[in-house]
Amino acid sequence: MKADRTIGVIGTLVWDRILDRDGRSEPVEEWGGIGYALAALRSTLPDGWKVMPILKLGRDLAEDGRHFLNEIPGLSNTGLVVVPESNNRVELRYLDRALRVERLTGGVPSWTWPELAPLVELCDALYVNFISGFEMTLETALALRTVYKRPTYADLHSLFLSMNQHGQRVPRSLEAWSTWLRCFDAVQMNENEFDLLSTTGDPWQLAASALGPELKLITVTLGARGAAYVASDDFDPQPTTWHKHLQVTVAERARSGKIDLEETPRAGDPTGCGDVWGGTVFARLLAGDELSEAMRIANHNAGLNVEHRGARGLYRHLTGRLSHVEEQV
């Protein structure tokens, strides 16, 4: 029997307070952050894969955070570290379906490379989700690129957010963006983040210019319009091959494509859709799917996420099972 393989998931578990979402007048408080990607990975990875969250939990919410993680079956607790700092708490106020204002309080410290190295060594693949944008510094990401020789996929998300004195997150361009992108085999952004790659020029041309031996794939989520990608012309969708041809120095040609939604966009809560999308794409690539098929399934799962509120119970929703609340009725 083939031994289990492990995917490490670096991110931050966040206590969300969500206002003005899907017509609700009362705020909703629930777990979010990396919980969305964990649910997506566990529900779509093939048999033989274990999921190991690599995250720091603030002591103030550690007990409830552990309880939440235990509700997702099959998660390893090897990479869970409780720290004395207050856990990340985010207030999300929706201005419309796509636009929201975000404010962060608390915050666990970044991973240093000496802390991270022994944990990623246990992993056969690595999914990095910049939920806070402070999960690791560029120095740590460069060390990861240098040492870790297995597939990596990163949702860059909050690297494109600064924070003012009141904790409000403000969009910004990403300094050293090409270096950041090349720290991972595949990266993901949403459309607004992608446009922030540069204030001048065509971001698609810039993205294509970043492709090479390190960076092989860039995906961009487009909301109700589906998702798009740019990859080197000889891109192999099987992650196990991504570290076999590092002697190539430049991607002379690139190819791109777009996968439209196959279903009418659902009404509901868009929080976490990008996280579900990215976790699903990487899971399905690890399962052996072609890129277009992986993106198609990711579009579907992101749509299912819209119908569910919060990360709690999402695994069961994505797998077509009743939630804990429904089972108790």
Q: How many Å apart are CA 168 and CA 153, to the nearest integer? A: 27
Whole-number Cα distances in Å, 129 to 123, 254, 261: 16, 25, 23
What is the C-alpha to C-alpha distance for residues 57 and 175, in angstroms, rounded to an integer?
A: 28
Handedness of CA 45, 51, 56, 58 (dihedral sign): positive
Per-residue confidence (pLDDT) for residue 165, from 0 to 100: 85
Signed CA dihedral, 32, 299, 170, 135: sign only: positive
Give the number of other CB atoms < 10 A from CB of residue 317: 20
Q: Is 205 helix (H, G, I), strand (E, B) or coil?
A: helix
For the stretch 89-138, pLDDT in tens is 999 887 766 677 889 999 999 999 999 999 999 999 999 999 999 999 99
Task: Provide the pLDDT for residue 326.
Answer: 42
Query: CA–CA separation, 282 vs 44, rounded Å?
Result: 9
Alpha helices of 136-269 — where are they, by DSSP H? 138-147, 177-181, 191-195, 203-210
Which CATH number is associated with domain 5-320? 3.40.1190.20
For position 1, what pLDDT does the model report?
37
CA distance 301 to 42: 12
Tell me how far apart the alpha carbons of residues 41 and 50 are, in angstroms, rounded to a whole number.
Answer: 9
The pLDDT score that the predictor gives to residue 274 is 96
What is the model's pLDDT at position 325? 40
What do you get for the CA distance between the two ends of the chain, in Å?
41
Helix ranges restricted to H, 74-233 = 113-120, 138-147, 177-181, 191-195, 203-210
Per domain, the residue ranges of the chain are: 5-320
pLDDT of 321? 63
Cα–Cα distance, 208 to 27 (Å, whole number): 42
Residues of the chain with pLDDT under 50: 1-2, 247-249, 322-329
In whole angstroms, give the CA distance from residue 181 to residue 207. 9
Q: What is the pLDDT of residue 266?
A: 75
